[in-house]
Amino acid sequence: MEQPNLSYIHSMSGGDKAFEQKLIAIINAEFPEEKKEYFKNLAAKNYKLTAGNVHKLKHKISILGLEKSYETAVAFENNLLEGRTTLQDEFESILTTMTNYLQQL
């Protein structure tokens, strides 16, 4: 499976290590909250709100260099907007990969 990386963060930080640390800290603070909202709205079958959560999460997927996973998230978001949960397992697997990666940074 595709693995996260910090290529994008390095490319846009211009070598500013303090900023890189700050950005990772922000992602680490924001990501669990966004996941929580996602699972809450999904459990309530509020797929429109869940699509909004996926929309927000997919930015972080792209920041961590997960290009194929990003496409999965786009497709899953569209499915949710049509009231379907197809690709849910694949999307949640991406979230798990990101969670594990962020924990070790």
Of the candidates 25, 46, 86, the residue with the CA atom closest to the CA atom of residue 73: 86
Q: Rounded CA gap, 59 and 63, in Å?
A: 6
Does residue 2 bind another protein (CB under 8 A)?
no
Does residue 16 bind another protein (CB under 8 A)?
yes
Stretch that binds another protein, among 25-33, 39-47, 86-94, 97-105 (CB under 8 A): 25-33
Are 78 and 59 in contact by the 8 Å Cβ rule? The answer is no
Query: Residue 6 CB, nearest distance to another protein (Å)?
Result: 12
Question: What part of residues 51-80 is at the interface with another protein (CB under 8 A)?
Answer: 52, 55-56, 58-60, 62-63
Residue 44 CA, chain-centre distance (Å), reads 20
